[in-house]
Structure 1
Amino acid sequence: MMTEVCAPLLYHDFMATRAEDSSSSSRNVGSQTLARGLRVLEIVATSEQGVTTQEIADHLGVHRTIAYRILATLSDFRLVLRSADGRYRGGAGLAVLGQGIHSTLRGVAESHLRELAREVQSTVALIVEEDDEAVALAVVEPPNAAYHLSFHVGSRHPLDRGAAGVALLSARRPRSRDSAAVREARERGYAKTFGEVEPGAYGVAATLAPVEGAPAACVNLITYRADVAERAVPAVLEAVRRIDDALS
């Protein structure tokens, strides 16, 4: 009798375990597919020249067929577009995804960033906090500059390095484990670093006033020249003030 009673229970437990394992496996596969799709979208959106199917396959380390399927799915939703030259570029659907508070921040800040870039003849950016990273939401390069540093929208680096990261950390509530750089930036109202993200480059950053529903953000300048970084501080702070006024 014991065997007759327990066998169905054991069978039920076995099948339940198999179903759970199968569900977990499906979730893992789904997560991997989603992660690949988001990674491809990021690569395409930040590429100035567009990318080919083979380049996507190389980036992901997958077969060309898998890369093609991901691009085709993104194309179906108009998130990417295949141009006549066979290269994929950002599609109109990206504009829909870009709506909301990030779009508001970028739209308000860009004219002031252009003015700042022109004044200091250096690349400037609007950087936002995303988890434990500083992410470029808008990047403006100086017009007619003899030379300047360049990086893409979507570029990111850890918050614990670079002027933007230090500035964003300084906007948080003070903690005992804050670095000396964060404490100094909090005290003087801006952060200044050297060679922490780009070797040999100076960074200057100051945070915007908090905006409800928006991530912490800062204006960041990057240059190879120490004298430019030094004299750009007042201009960066003035740009922040103007953006704050426009957002208030």
Structure 2
Amino acid sequence: MTPLKSNDPDNGGSQTLERGLALLAELSRHAEGLNTSQAATATGLHRSVTHRLLVSLHRTGFAARDKEGRYTIGPAVAGLLGGSGPSLRTVAEPILNRLARRLDATASLVEAVGTAAVTTVVAEPPTDGPLFWYRTGSRDPLDHGSGGLATLASGAPRTNEPDRVQAIREAGYVITHGEVNVGAHGIAAPLPGWPVRAAINVVTSDPEIAERAIAHVMEAVAAIGVPGDHL
């Protein structure tokens, strides 16, 4: 990319905004992500300027950052793509509600935001039994627990990702026991093909529900599909 030059003050406009947009456009060209130095080189910006812009983009959700310090396009970008079909959250919500009723367990949509697995949609079953309650906005680690691991598996392989993530990609699902919440069984499946790394996650205290959930979770993944299925 041609290095950015200073604005002519007589032309008006915002140099910071232009730099931020140029940086965002550069991130969109690199699905594997860029660290600060790489982004600075690609845009021709000073490293300190690039760092400040990346921090702002990350804080507002327009960029995501992994634990190795690489930045990619963030989930907020998907919200700007009007006219390209319904969002993942819109598609997933009725399917998650049906899944929660069938399993009598909490079902949720998890998305990668920075180094966290963030719950963005929650479906609770109509039950009087014990539940693991998740609220929208709950944050869990990406590197352990069913939701985080399946979310990582929804994207392309990355260096230094947990060894079991590739196995999850190949199997299409993961079951964990007590990795995030004591006594919880998590069943999650990646949702590849969407603008954000994401997964379906079911959490239950009943190991029998966990085992029979696999087929239902995979059915929900097929129902959600990819963006092109909902145009």
Task: Tell me which interval the TM-score lies in, with the shorter structure as reference length.
Answer: 0.5 to 0.7
The percent of aligned pairs where both chains have the same amino acid is 37
1:109, distance to aligned residue in structure 2 (A): 0.9
Q: Secondary structure at the match of 2:130?
A: coil
Would you say 1:127 and 2:110 are equivalent positions?
yes
Q: Where does structure 1 lack aligned partners over 5 or more consecutive residues? A: 1-30, 39-97
> Structure 2 counterpart of 1:216, which letter?
R
After TM superposition, the structure 1 = structure 2 runs for residues 53-132 of structure 1, keeping only pairs within 5 Å, are 100=80, 104-132=87-115
Find 1:193's aligned residue among 176, 179, 192.
176
1:243 paired to 2:217: no
Contact 1:125 1:221 in 2 (8 A): yes
Count of aligned positions: 154
Q: Compute the displacement of 1:176 (Å).
A: 5.9
Find the aligned partners of 1:238 and 1:204 in 2 and give their Cα distance: 13
Structure 2 unpaired stretches of 5+: 1-54, 61-77
Is 1:136 the counterpart of 2:99? The answer is no
Q: State the distance in 2 between where 1:154 and 1:224 align.
A: 21
- The match for 2:193 is 210
TM-score (norm 2): 0.59
Once the two structures are TM-superposed, the CA of residue 209 in structure 1 deviates from its matched residue by 2.7
- Native 8 Å contact 2:142 2:152 kept in 1: yes
- Contact 1:121–1:145, Cα closer than 8 Å, also in 2: no
Q: 1:216 to 1:148 in 2, by over 3 A?
A: same
1: distance between equivalents of 2:81 and 2:124? Answer: 23
Partner residue in 2 for 1:159: 142
* Larger proportion of helix: 1
Provide runs of 4+ in structure 1 moved above 3 Å. Answer: 98-103, 175-178
Summarize deviations over 1:185-209 as a string: whole Å, max 9, x none.
1221111111111111011111113
Give the TM-score normalised by structure 1. 0.56
Partner of 2:133: 150
Q: Greater Rg, structure 1 or structure 2?
A: 1
1:145–1:241 Cα change, 3 Å: farther
Q: Is the Cα–Cα contact under 8 Å of residues 169 and 182 in structure 1 kept in the other structure? A: yes
- Superposition CA RMSD, Å: 2.8
- RCO higher in structure (CA 8 A, sep ≥6): 2
Aligned position for 1:234 = 215
Query: Partner amino acid for 2:186?
Result: G
Is residue 118–residue 142 contact of structure 1 (8 Å, CA) maintained in 2?
yes
Say if 1:247 and 1:116 are closer, same or farther in 2 by CA, change over 3 A.
Answer: farther
Change (3 A) 1:116 1:247: farther
CA separation in 1, counterparts of 2:151 and 2:81? 18
C-alpha deviation, 1:145, in angstroms = 4.3
Q: Give 2:155's match in structure 1, choosing from 142, 148, 172.
A: 172
Aligned to 2:38: none
Q: Helix, strand or coil: the match of 2:108?
A: strand
Supply the distance in 2 between the matched residues of 1:100 and 1:119 (Cα, whole angstroms): 34
